[in-house]
A and B are shown apart, each in its own frame.
Chain A
């Protein structure tokens, strides 16, 4: 027996030589990180406890940043293609040569036809910069990846209440008592949601998860609603039915803060049918129930009617609320009418609606904070309805997602729970009404900039991007009758449209951090063919492809010219208020990245590369009068650029003295001030301005002081969306700007000014007996929004992606462990391994997205499970809908916003013999790796142990 003995132990070893504080970029969450440096290397990354986003915590991706930073798949130098597209054969070249090649392609087309450049950025956190570059270049063809991500959620929120979920808003975590999530697997707001759920759990607040798949957040939800995909809108409208019929809506809130009292023209023959009545000053009218007369909605002391029919100047009208109530009190929205379709028993719908009503109206919370509204009325308290909601791609990625997102926002507005204590709160620069956003711009002039920002919020048919012949101006056909309100563009249509020459041919496709030949595209197999397709002269149909990435991804193999980016620890960035900042509901905040490690390869930050290209092309704003560079690099731009006088990319430490908040002249020491402050800047909203922001005079003044607006922008929520009715009137033949005949019915149906539910398009076009199953994907928490599969640590957690099959389907087909299935859609088929999952909607199968990799990519070895059994569902999803026999190309997108309808997919499943070599199908020839393959083993940190 060895007697107990303890060796001497040093319990206070030195951890690191220095801590450098910057911003994570392992996903879109933008947490503050402390990077511990030892001997010039990264030793340990932890969350920054002072940081507003993550308050010290860090997810698996963040901690795995070391493996990402030192990944063997990092590109090493600029490269030009020497083999055929798709092969991955490259030659490393100098930056001078790379920039010469790019300029040689881009300069002539700028002089002749700038639209022949299609510039689309993927995982871009510098859209205010990349958009500015594209605008200076003059092409109308610019967007980031929102169109295939979650534009329905963004646009649905902004068109309904001037703000959206994700990083632009959050539940009032400290006060909410009932939190309901729809279609959330993970989110941009990754760590904040986890922190928030932890707070709710600690308080014993209730969480309801609505999702066909019970994983992650839905696993810890106190109540799981395993809804059938694509039916969330019906479920929500049935709850609205219950709330209306029982009188559980907040009428006072609706009168004060929404357009529900506005009078709507009810004369069907009128060119303004369905639009609001307005006075001579253009102000919307309400019916004053005391004066019994029409008055402007914001008149002092107005007592608006909420029901009845009123004739104003001979025009029949009714308050918008009556249209809403009449619609949703209808029989088609009763729980019994929707239960079967939704896969939720009617009593459960009734029970949840009753719970929402009880918490909202019987558990109201009151904060002792006096405030003044924009009408000048003083309130001595803030009254909150502690019910809050959040949703994400499960609602968004359907062809009915925009209207479903609107329905959800309207549910929370009817409960009076937006921007109140305990409800959903906006984060600056939101709230911001549609009218305060730019409109989209399309005017192309050879050799000159575009006439304004590309992306914006159309306010009627006059804002569409159509030429004099009604043809799309943009290559992705954003802002056309196919999808009139598409503020994020349609990146998923760019390659397909460019290949088809529809609406026109392009010369150069320029992309950044978007794996568009693999997991980020629909119809992956055919898109690869499009990228390498040649015309009758042997020239590529898409003549030039420039791509920037940090890693050897699948898209690299298809580019002609590679402009290598750095890792996130080697670069400057700004997480800007002009873009998508890190604000909290109680504070305005932004942050930076800075090179905590210098690159050891011949690579540079993409934004610096763009500035250098801008100088070579002589783009306005990037060159001085003598043609020299205006900005040395991206860091110089971040500090010195002004978008408006006194307002630049970073809001903190402005002015020569570094004391300016939001406004102030450029400060050449601004980045150092951020570094000294932990990599971020934060300024808290005064307590009396922290709620009711759209209507709070205090908040509005504060926002102007901080440079968020140039004048106060109070507004009411657009529950009834008049802009949509304008498009609808056009579809009904009214007005000068008319949709083409084949789109009239779709526009009329989809642009309803009050939310509707319709069957997802693919579902309505395929035989549902032949394709009875819904097929979805999720990203795992440890990889969400991350280039993660090549990460040596994370791939040990999520290196496999079986197809998860629910019990009913499993038993029906006689599946057993280790079996394989053929899954077929209207478009294609895949053969893949299956696994049983019981906590799953009985008509749904799913898998983890973006685990499957092409052999040769990401410096993985050719037997890596990601490249053998790993697969993509993308092969089953076409960017076009099944043919309607009319010869038209109907895109597989939401008809309002153009959001890619990934989750409309319908399939059939069959048990099959395992394929040879246990290799998922389809298979693809390996691409050559320009960076070789990773080492056999890793022992990170051995030198310090």
Chain B
């Protein structure tokens, strides 16, 4: 069992816009690419060219269909990675102290040298956000690119998680959700950002912006402003054409 810090100076996290995510998987692969050769052990791919390729990913996109009676089904793309919870059960369950939450920014990390690969943390995470690396035998998870966001060897504008930098649609936002005046906090306020499974009591830092209501599930109003035929008594279409030409 490991304790969590009483509080953190910042609450760094992601805001993911489900209204904008097209499900392209750019974030998934950019994350894999950065993290396989940076923080900690590589993200291995077992049976990479064979019958059951299974690799470690810190971020995955799931797609769901949602259907209401007699209405067109909706499709939502749902990227999922560690939500850096304030009450992170993956930390408190850790028998060695390998899992910890940073006091300065709230990032939840695994100190791989202390990780014994017991898997308790993955079991305790209600989001399924941790993955045990099959070849390295250590627990891997989103680091929020802790080796990018403060990295003085890369340009300042690039000091964001790899998934955020690469997202083509701009559906991923990074910032301090503990600061109500930050851009991400304002975005959450504006768009009704939501916690994932709040009933679990984990107080996730990451937030999701819900899809906006779709026009195709609305009934078409009997008073809908359809285009009206040009008045036949005023010459119909040709009469309109004459009047338009006169005005030019």
Contact = CB atoms under 8 A, between A and B. Distances in A.
Are A and B part of the same complex?
yes
Given A1-B3, A60-B29, A197-B22, A325 B42 contact: no
Given A6-B103, A248-B227, A796-B55, A12 B152 contact: yes
B126 interface: no
Contacts of B94: 2
Contact of B51 (A72, A864, A944): A864
B130 interface: no
Interface in B129-183: 135-136, 146-147, 149-154, 157-158, 162, 165-171
5 contacts: A44-B34, A220-B19, A351-B220, A936-B49, A938-B48
Nearest to B215: A223
B170 A198 contact: yes
B49 A3 contact: no
Interface of A: 1-7, 9-15, 38, 43-47, 49, 54, 56-64, 66, 72, 190-191, 194-195, 197-199, 201-202, 206, 214-226, 242-248, 251-252, 255, 289, 303, 305-307, 325, 329, 345, 347-348, 350-351, 353-354, 357-358, 781-782, 790, 792-797, 799, 837-840, 859-861, 863-865, 868, 933-942, 944-945
B58 to A, nearest CB: 13
B245 A940 contact: no
A31 to B, nearest CB: 9
Nearest to B75: A219
Given A2-B97, A63-B32, A799-B53, 16 more contacts: A56-B165, A58-B168, A216-B23, A244-B237, A347-B224, A350-B224, A351-B220, A353-B226, A354-B224, A354-B225, A782-B24, A795-B53, A937-B46, A937-B135, A939-B44, A941-B36
A445 B37 CA distance: 58
A44 B33 contact: yes
Given A3-B3, A351-B226, A863 B51 contact: yes
Nearest to B248: A252
7 closest A-B pairs by beta carbon, nearest first, are: A941-B37, A934-B49, A194-B168, A863-B51, A246-B227, A198-B170, A838-B73
Contacts of B65: 837-839
B37 A864 contact: no
Contact of A251 (B19, B77, B103, B241): B241
B5 interface: yes
Q: Name which of A13, A47, A220, A222 has the most chain B CB atoms within 10 A of its CB.
A: A220
Contact of B25 (A60, A221, A936): A60
Contacts of B47: 936-937
A838 B102 contact: no
Contacts of A242: 226-227
Contacts of B157: 49
Contacts of A57: 26, 165-168
Nearest to A806: B73
Interface of B: 1-5, 17, 19-26, 28-30, 32-34, 36-42, 44-55, 57, 63, 65, 67, 72-77, 94-97, 100-103, 109, 111, 113-114, 135-136, 146-147, 149-154, 157-158, 162, 165-171, 211-212, 214-216, 220, 224-230, 237-238, 240-242, 244-245, 248
B123 to A, nearest CB: 18
Contact of B32 (A46, A217, A224, A793): A793
Contacts of A64: 29, 33
Contacts of B75: 214-215, 218-219, 839
A12 B151 contact: yes
A572 B179 CA distance: 48
B48 A936 contact: yes
A939 B56 CA distance: 10
A171 to B, nearest CB: 15
A839 B74 contact: yes
Contacts of A244: 237
A938 B215 contact: no
Contact of B168 (A191, A247, A868): A191
Contacts of A13: 38, 147, 151, 153
Given A194-B168, A246-B227, A220 B215 contact: no
Given A60-B28, A219-B75, A246 B44 contact: no
Contacts of A353: 226-227
A945 B24 contact: no
Contact of A14 (B17, B50, B135, B153): B153
A310 to B, nearest CB: 15
Q: Name which of A14, A199, A868, A945 has the most chain B CB atoms within 10 A of its CB.
A: A945
A155 B4 CA distance: 63
Given A46-B165, A350-B227, A936 B50 contact: yes
A859 B50 CA distance: 9
Contacts of A795: 53
B45 A937 contact: yes
Contact of A6 (B100, B168, B169, B237): B100
Contact of B44 (A6, A58, A859, A937): A937
A15 B248 contact: no
A863 B47 CA distance: 11
B152 A47 contact: no
A307 B243 CA distance: 12
Given A44-B37, A350-B227, A935 B51 contact: no
A223 B216 contact: yes
B30 A63 contact: yes
A557 B222 CA distance: 62
B37 A43 contact: yes
A781 B170 CA distance: 16
Contacts of A940: 36-37, 42, 45
Contact of B216 (A10, A225, A329): A225
A610 to B, nearest CB: 31
A216 B52 CA distance: 26
Nearest to B50: A861
A112 B207 CA distance: 71
Contacts of B72: 214, 224, 226, 839
A882 to B, nearest CB: 33
